[in-house]
């Protein structure tokens, strides 16, 4: 399945070079000498076979345009394969103490990671450090904080932002430059729950989405310095719970539902500054009521498209945030309300050829725990692999961290181990 040049053409190739243990090509010494390495069908097909195997394994179809620096399908295929190998190798950093569930993790790209979690009574637990070298509890977290849902690093401000719900029924915003000592910021907007915070690719603006006090009223809050926050939008009958930003389109997508018990997913686009939005039509297949809450729980930008996943594990995508295509309406695993993202999805936002990974509370293989489902974006956006990750475990959030080129998975990892799993870097 790979030719041995020295065996194929003895006397017509050079041997003895450690850099080419199976022989290397050589020129003919003189016209007609017959001692040069032949350019034959088997030689050509050996190289073409490797190139085509690389594209096939990477899930790519030849574009018809020659490869070049900055536009190489062969390089993209190699990266795709690297992502696949990377996400199957994890280092789990368990968190000690009474932590019940880890919800989200982000890094400043300079060695500090922040993990946000809850204990059994719902009290906030924030940890900082490095998953490969140990994470410790933050020394100062405001006492009123309770359920913390999400965290993001805002590069321009040099601050981590954590959001959630306080113990007096409203929401909170906390910031920290190091992850150790946290400061509560003035609470902007009548939001009962701040579900998600995300920064744009440049790290110059962060968006927060959540549910306002009084029911199914959603709000968007934005900041450029992580100290002052502005409510830019409020809307009825739509509660956004997830955010994703596209640097290519300079556009955000919000996902959620009508309220906390909505059985139908809802999607909207949000402009770069958070000042304008438009509701978008979900795929027709998503109009089917599964009989349990099925709002959008997670979103990602995957280099060339937005991808969304619902509370039942249904998946859809959009190339522009406007028109959405259904990938799957198969319910995967049991619905588990309001305890984290039981279904979660992630991809490298800079690589339009990398696989897209979904974590589901059932691996589909008959095992308890959760599984990893790998999709590649061929014409049919196909599921190409499902692997069982861990038994008796519960996922919360899968994220790709561009600053460190790692996948991080937050949740519980069996036998009461709560924390973050970090994938092997490539």
Model confidence pLDDT, tens digit, residues 211-250 = 877 667 889 999 999 999 999 998 888 999 999 999 999 9
Same domain, 7 and 124: no
Is the Cβ–Cβ distance between 379 and 403 less than 8 Å? Answer: no
294 and 402 part of one domain: yes
Residue 364 confidence (pLDDT): 52
Phi, psi of 82 (to 5 degrees): -60, -45
Asked if pLDDT for residue 80 goes beyond 50, the answer is yes
Average pLDDT over residues 393-402: 84
Using one digit for the tens of pLDDT, what is the confidence trace for 241-273?
999 999 999 999 999 998 756 788 999 999 999
Q: Is 193 found in the same domain as 86?
A: yes
Mean pLDDT for 293-316 is 92
Q: For residue 20, is it within any domain?
A: yes
pLDDT at 235: 87
Distance CA 331, CA 341 (A): 15
Whether 69 is covered by a domain: the verdict is no
Taking CA atoms, 41 is separated from 1, 48, 50, in Å, by: 14, 10, 14
135 and 16 in a single domain? The answer is no
Assess whether pLDDT exceeds 50 at residue 87. yes
User: How many alpha carbons lie under 13 Å from residue 206 in its C-beta half-sphere?
Assistant: 27
Q: Is residue 74 part of a domain?
A: no
Q: pLDDT-based confidence at 417, cuts 50/70/90?
A: low
Confidence (pLDDT) at 86: 67
Residue 223 belongs to some domain of the structure: yes
- Rounded distance, CA 20 to CA 289, Å? 61
Query: Do residues 185 and 324 share a domain?
Result: yes
Does the pTM surpass 0.85? The reply is: no
Task: Provide the CB-side half-sphere exposure for 145 (13 A, CA).
Answer: 25
- Judge if 11 and 120 occupy the same domain: no
Which of 31-45, 267-281, 337-351 is the least confident region?
337-351
Q: Does any domain span residue 34?
A: no
Maximum pairwise Cα distance, the chain: 91
Q: In the chain, what percentage of residues exceed pLDDT 90?
A: 36
Does any domain span residue 76? Answer: no
Residue 150: pLDDT band by 50, 70, 90 thresholds?
Answer: very high
Domain co-membership, 50 together with 102: no
Residues 194 and 164 sit within 8 Å (Cβ to Cβ): yes
396 domain-assigned: yes
Confidence of residue 329 (pLDDT cuts 50, 70, 90): confident
Banded pLDDT at 97 (limits 50, 70, 90): low
355 shares a domain with 270: yes
Sign of CA dihedral 357, 362, 366, 368: positive
Please tell me the total number of residues recorded for the chain in this structure: 426
Contact 375, 360 (CB under 8 A): no
What sign has the CA pseudo-torsion 321, 322, 326, 330? positive
Same domain, 236 and 297: yes
Return phi, psi of residue 25, to 5°.
Answer: -65, 150
Query: How large is the average pLDDT for residues 148-166?
Result: 93
Number of domains making up the chain: 2
Question: Domain containing 382 — which CATH number?
Answer: 2.130.10.10
What average pLDDT is seen over the chain? 83
Q: What is the CA radius of gyration of the chain?
A: 25
Range of the domain at 210: 81-423
Tell me: do 133 and 225 sit in the same domain.
Answer: yes
Confidence of residue 414 (pLDDT cuts 50, 70, 90): low
> 143 and 8, same structural domain?
no
At residue 176's C-alpha, the angle toward residues 175 and 182, to 5°, is: 80
Residue 75 falls inside a structural domain: no
266/397 same-domain check:
yes
Rounded distance between C-alpha atoms, residue 239 and residue 267, angstroms? 10
The per-residue pLDDT for 338 is 37
């Amino acid at each position: 399945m790979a030719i041995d040049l020295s065996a194929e053409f003895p006397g017509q190739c050079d041997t003895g070079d450690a850099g080419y243990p199976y022989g290397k090509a050589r020129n003919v010494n003189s016209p007609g000498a017959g001692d040069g390495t032949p350019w034959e069908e088997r030689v050509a097909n050996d190289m073409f076979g490797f190139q085509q195997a690389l594209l096939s394994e990477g899930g790519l179809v030849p574009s018809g345009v020659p490869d070049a620096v900055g536009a190489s399908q062969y390089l993209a295929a190699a990266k795709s394969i690297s992502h696949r190998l990377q996400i199957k190798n994890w280092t789990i950093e368990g968190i000690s103490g009474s932590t019940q569930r880890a919800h989200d993790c982000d890094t400043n790209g300079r060695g500090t990671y922040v993990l946000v979690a809850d204990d059994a009574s719902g009290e906030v637990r924030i940890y900082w450090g490095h998953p490969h070298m140990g994470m410790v509890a933050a020394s100062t977290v405001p006492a009123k904080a309770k359920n913390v849902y999400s965290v993001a690093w805002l590069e321009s401000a040099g601050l981590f932002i954590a959001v959630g719900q306080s113990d007096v029924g409203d929401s909170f915003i906390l910031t920290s430059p190091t992850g150790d000592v946290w400061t509560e910021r003035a609470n902007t907007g009548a939001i009962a729950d701040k579900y998600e915070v995300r920064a744009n690719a440049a790290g110059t603006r962060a968006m927060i989405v959540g549910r306002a006090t009084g029911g199914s009223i959603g709000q968007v809050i934005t900041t450029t310095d992580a100290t002052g926050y502005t409510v830019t939008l409020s809307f009825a009958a739509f509660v956004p719970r997830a955010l994703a930003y596209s640097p290519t389109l300079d556009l955000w997508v919000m996902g959620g539902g009508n309220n906390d018990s909505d059985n139908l997913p809802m999607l909207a686009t949000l402009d770069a500054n958070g000042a304008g939005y438009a509701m978008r039509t979900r795929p027709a297949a998503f109009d089917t009521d599964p009989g349990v809450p099925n709002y959008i729980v997670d979103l990602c930008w995957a280099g060339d498209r937005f991808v969304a996943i619902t509370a039942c594990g249904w998946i859809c995508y959009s190339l522009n945030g406007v028109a959405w295509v259904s990938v799957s309406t198969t319910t995967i695993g049991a619905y588990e309300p309001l305890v984290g993202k039981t279904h979660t999805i992630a991809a490298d936002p800079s690589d339009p050829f990398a696989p897209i990974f979904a974590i589901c509370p059932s691996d589909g293989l008959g095992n308890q725990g959760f599984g990893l489902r790998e999709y590649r974006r061929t014409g049919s956006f196909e599921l190409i692999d499902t692997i069982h990750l861990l038994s008796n475990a519960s996922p919360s959030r899968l994220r790709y961290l561009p600053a460190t080129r790692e996948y991080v998975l937050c949740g519980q990892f069996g036998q009461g181990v709560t924390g973050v799993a970090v994938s092997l870097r490539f």
